[in-house]
Amino acid sequence: MNKPNPEKYLRTILSNMKQRCLNPRHESFPYYGARGVRIFGPWMNSEVFVQGILVEIGPRPTDEIRHNGLSVWELDRINSFGNYEPGNVRWLRWEQNQKNKRPRTKSSRPRPREKKEKLPPYLMFTNSTSGILVTSRF
């Protein structure tokens, strides 16, 4: 079996990071980009990212694969409030990384602003018994 190419999987990791941090249409953007999580500027270049990770933390510890075909190891931010940058990344087993995540519920996910229909500031009607014009604020 061929040994995985570190450059290939690190480029995939970078591509996924860019989607989470930069693409407002990505499903995970509310948890990354919208919260201000950024990618270290020089790491936006894939060659620099690959070399930076290999020097900073080395290649993935093993080639173990989970049942769904994904690696057992994930690139993790040590400080979850920090950015993807030197000194704040490490390899972490996916089981441990799952324990570090905040629960995602429908109520906790930031929602895009909905356009509200403009309503009149008050409602006017005539009281049927007295015939008096009544105004009622919403």
- In angstroms, the CA 18 to CA 110 distance is 19
User: Mean of the per-residue pLDDT values for the chain?
Assistant: 80
Taking the CA of residue 86 as centre, how many other CA atoms within 13 Å lie in the half-sphere pointing to its CB? Answer: 12
Q: Which residues pair with 123 in a beta bridge?
A: 136
Distance CA 59, CA 52 (A): 11
63 secondary structure, DSSP code: -
State the Cα–Cα distance between residues 29 and 21, nearest whole angstrom.
6
pTM of the model: 0.67
- Mean pLDDT across the stretch 56-60? 93
Q: pLDDT (tens digit, 9 = 90+) per residue, 67-112?
A: 777 778 899 999 999 999 999 999 998 777 777 666 655 555 555 5
Q: pLDDT digit string (tens) for 30-45?
A: 999 999 999 999 999 9
pLDDT for residue 124 is more than 60: no
- In the three-class reduction of DSSP (H, G, I as helix; E, B as strand; rest coil), residue 96 is classed as helix
Domain boundaries, the chain: 6-100
Who has greater pLDDT, 92 or 120?
92
